[in-house]
Amino acid sequence: MSAQATDEARYLAAFEAAERNGAAHDPTWLRELRRDAMAEFTRAGFPTARRGNEPWKYTDVRSLASTAFVAPDVTEPLGEIDLSPYDLPCPRVHQLVFVDGRYAPQLSTDPPSEGERASHVFFERGDGPIVGRIAEAAHYDVPLVREHLGKHAGAAAGAFTSLNTAFVRDGAFVSIPDGVSVPEPIYLLFISTARPERPTVTYPRVLIVAGRDSSATVLVSFESLGDGAYFTDAVTEIVAGPGASLRCITLQRESDAAYHVSTTNVTQARDSSVSTVTVDLGGGLVRHDLSVLLAEPGASASLNGLYLGRGKRHVDNHTFVDHAVPGASSDEVYKGILDDDSRGVFVGHVLVRPGAQHTVAHQVNKNLLLSDGAEADTQPKLEIFADDVTCTHGAAVGQLDPAAMFYLKSRGIGEAVARALLVHGFVREVVDSIADDAVRQYTDDAVMAALRAG
């Protein structure tokens, strides 16, 4: 058996153990979904090849593949966790918290599940959002979950998606009924205890289904309490119905030793608008695959991101916007701040399919290099098979403007604060794209704190 096969075999063994323990209550469709995903993962393997492996040419996952991550110990009681550093500056209304992959009822706004209450949550709420657990939704066989889970991030999305699906048991299920606007942000918080003695793997999973003409803001946060190494393999599926307006913000602040691989798949119906903002302030090796399918005319997507590279951090954003129909639009702005020996990668793929006339697609990636050791790779990939379209793309790599630096210093501002202010100014456009006041303020504070920490 080759070394590579051994890496996958570890996950297969973990999968079989998990299926033996307590999978019996899950509906058949879910068990089959997992089994097929495991087969797919075993077949594909980790994308470790360093040749002929275009999607991973900038990001080497060999050390991730070879590390023997283990499942978190679910028998251990959760210690006291102080959530106050993660409080949004607004009332807590919809909050789900998972610690090392485990649902933490005492930290979440929904009380622990009891059969009747849970069934009420999933079947009887008409005027508010459903913010619940995938485990419960699966237990009650909620049709929306059966219909959508694993359908938008299928096997084609890659080995990491398959791996997540192979282990999907729980996670967050958010459903906004038709016509419902949720004023408060929905907050999904995934916390890793990150104890150094035990490198663990978790599979955070999120499914968001926004009904016709609904509106909501969802913040998905990845936080770490320690500085150990661990592996977060996250998958988010977003389905926006006709006329839906959805804003999804991801804030990643994993430990510097963490591997964070996430796949997000968005499917948009007619006249829907989805805005994603991906903010990376932590992690050791970070990879996001964000795919947006503009499936019906009038759909519009905005994809924004900012990443802060420090130390040896490696952040790779791959985005894919699929203009499958005429009259859809996409607008993309990613900004990177790269310091020390960090590396930022941006690959923005836009596909305008034949017949997708009147497509409007804009894409910009800008990077600020703060040290000689930092590196930015940026690669727009535009494939346009329609002739009546407006598509633009731009990329820039620059340094802090010394004239601006002097201007700030001449007002008494010291080197560190001056840098933080200028860098913050550089990425403010991305933070400002967050419409919800509380989430924007929270994200802005997180960005500023991360900048000043350097």
Checking DSSP bridges between strand 360-369 and strand 273-280, what pairing results, if any? unpaired
Closer residue to other proteins, CB minimum distance, 356 or 422: 422
Candidates 321, 315, 325; CA nearest to 359 is 325
d(C-alpha 365, C-alpha 380), whole Å: 9
Pair type for strands 300-309 and 329-338: parallel
Report residue 122 as tokens. Answer: 């999933």
Rank residues 244 and 418 by Cβ distance to other proteins and give the closer one. 418
| Shortest Cβ 409–other proteins spacing (Å) | 4
DSSP 54: G
Residues 394-433 that bind other proteins (CB under 8 A): 401-404, 406-415, 417-418, 421-422, 424-429
Q: How far is the CB of 419 from other proteins (least distance, A)?
A: 12
Looking at the Cβ atoms of 1 and 403, the one nearer to other proteins is: 403
The smaller minimum CB distance to other proteins, of residues 354 and 402, is found at 402
CB of 412 to other proteins, least distance (A): 4
Q: How far is the CB of 5 from other proteins (least distance, A)?
A: 50
How would DSSP label each residue in 162-178?
HHHHHT-S--EEEEE-T
Please name the residue that has the structure tokens 């996670």.
171
Q: Is 225 exposed, middle or buried (0-12, 13-18, 19+ CB in 10 A)?
A: middle
Torsion 156-157-158-160 (CA) sign: negative
Reading the block at residue 161, the tokens are: 């998606």
* Least distance CB 414 / other proteins (angstroms): 5
Sign of CA dihedral 314, 235, 135, 251: positive
Q: Which two tokens stand for residue 365?
A: 């990636």
Residue 240 and residue 302: Cα distance in Å, rounded? Answer: 13
Total interface residues for other proteins by CB under 8 A: 24
Tokens 């973990």, located at residue: 14
Neighbours of 392 (CB within 10 A): 12
Letters for 165-184 (x = contact with other proteins by CB under 8 A, - = none) are: --------------------
Nearest 5°: phi and psi at 324? -90, -15
Which sign, positive or negative, has the C-alpha torsion 158, 194, 446, 340? negative
Q: Which residues pair with 238 in a beta bridge?
A: 208, 266
Cβ-based nearer residue to other proteins, 128 or 425 = 425
Beta-bridge partner residues of 245: 215, 273
> In terms of CB distance, is 156 or 416 closer to other proteins?
416
CA–CA distance, 309 with 92 (Å, rounded to integer) = 31
Identify the three-state secondary structure at position 380: strand
Nearer to other proteins, 73 or 415 (CB): 415
Q: Please give the Cα distance from 225 to 368 (Å, whole number).
A: 29
Q: Check the CA dihedral 9-284-235-30 and report its sign.
A: positive
Least distance to other proteins, CB of residue 443, Å: 15
**What's the gap between Cα 313 and its chain centre?**
17
Q: Least distance in Å: CB of 416 to other proteins?
A: 10
CA distance 232 to 252: 11
Residue 268 C-beta: closest distance to other proteins, Å: 30
**207 or 368: CB nearest other proteins:** 368
Smallest separation (angstroms) from other proteins to the CB of 89:
14
Q: Which is nearer to other proteins, 311 or 425 (CB)?
A: 425
Least distance in Å: CB of 202 to other proteins? 36
Query: 43 vs 452, which CB is nearer to other proteins?
Result: 452
**Closer residue to other proteins, CB minimum distance, 39 or 413:** 413
Output the smallest distance, CB 348 to other proteins, in A. Answer: 21
The nearer residue to other proteins, 385 or 407, going by C-beta atoms, is: 407
Q: How far is the CB of 399 from other proteins (least distance, A)?
A: 14
Where do contacts with other proteins occur on this chain (CB under 8 A)? Answer: 401-404, 406-415, 417-418, 421-422, 424-429
